[in-house]
Amino acid sequence: MTGQTDFALFLDFDGTLVEIAPRPDAVRVEPALVPALERLRDRLGGALAIVTGRPVAVIDDFLAPARFDVAGLHGVERRVGEAVTGGRPEDHPALRARVPRLQALAADLDGVLIEDKGASVAVHWRLANPDDAGRAETVAKDIAAELAGAYRLQLGKAVGEIVPASATKGHAIRAFLENPPYAGRRAVFLGDDRTDELAFASVNEDGGVSVRVGPGETVAPKRLADPAAVRALLYAWAEGAPMEVSGLPEA
């Protein structure tokens, strides 16, 4: 694919590239998505990355056989090319020590899932009844409070994730922009959740463009309706349509 742009494109995964599923392992990747992302990455001179709460290895599984640059675990781990930094569970002993108790506290809550990501841990309550969902959120808040200072609770859509306090998607995007092929480009970030709002703010502050996917209050100036609208835009760009964000709907 020929043609260049001054964009560096950053894409959330769940709720942005794919529809959110009841369980994290149940999402489905549209067959046309991966080859379109590969063509779009070529058009961008390599400046395309996935920025997600998922581990890098999980994104690799979903988008196989392609391998993209990824900021995983809200920026705890990051891969550019073949170089991976961060994300080792053994670097988080205080968090690891509390995972068994978190699992025990959630064991009696119907429909609550503990997703242990090694360097972070997520409590999902999408399938829980309202009472158990409320208890699950309280459990997540209590464990996060015990780790206050070093970790924080990142709330999203029916999920609370305990992550290192220094890890945000905004920091991850800024780290990408410090090095080729991202350096000197304008960041464009698409995301759908409360977990993305801090990144929207930092992208806006740095002169980039943030795009909220779906409804809800947002600091992003632009909005797309749903993941299907995101994929339609990316497919068009991958096929050579002008890469402009000024014409996207206002948020």
Name the nearest CA neighbour of 74 among 167, 144, 165, 164. 167
Q: Do the domain assignments include residue 84?
A: no
Same domain, residue pair 102 and 157: yes
Same domain, residue pair 120 and 231: no
Q: Do the domain assignments include residue 83?
A: no
Phi/psi at 38 (5° precision): -65, -45
Alpha-carbon span 192 to 180, nearest angstrom: 27
Q: What is the pLDDT of residue 52?
A: 95
Same domain, residue pair 14 and 129: no
Q: What is the pLDDT of residue 12?
A: 97
List, in order, residues 6 or more apart from 74 with CB less than 8 Å away: 52, 53, 120, 154, 161, 163, 167, 168, 169, 172, 195
Residue 200 is part of which domain span? 7-76+167-238
List the CATH number of the domain containing 100.
3.30.70.1020
Question: What is the token pair recorded at 87?
Answer: 């994300």
Report the run of H or E that residue 72 belongs to, with start and end: strand 69-72
Same domain, residue pair 138 and 113: yes
Q: Return averaged pLDDT per consecutive 10 residues of the chain, 251 residues in all.
A: 72 96 90 97 97 93 96 91 81 92 90 89 92 93 90 88 88 94 96 91 96 96 98 96 92 88
Same domain, residue pair 157 and 176: no
Global pTM? 0.86
Same domain, residue pair 30 and 47: yes
Q: What is the pLDDT of residue 200?
A: 97
Overall number of domains in the chain: 2
CB 220 within 8 A of CB 210: yes
Alpha-carbon span 187 to 68, nearest angstrom: 17
Among the three residues 101, 130, 164, which one is the final residue of a domain in this structure? 164
Q: What is the pLDDT of residue 58?
A: 94
List the CATH number of the domain containing 212.
3.40.50.1000
Q: What is the pLDDT of residue 199?
A: 94
- Strand locations in 117-184, DSSP E? 121-124, 151-156, 159-164
Q: Is 71 helix (H, G, I), strand (E, B) or coil?
A: strand
Same domain, residue pair 230 and 121: no
Alpha-carbon span 133 to 87, nearest angstrom: 28
Q: What is the pLDDT of residue 250?
A: 94
Same domain, residue pair 18 and 55: yes
Q: What is the pLDDT of residue 119?
A: 85
Q: Which residues participate in catalysis according to the annotation? A: 12
Question: What is the token pair recorded at 58?
Answer: 């999980």
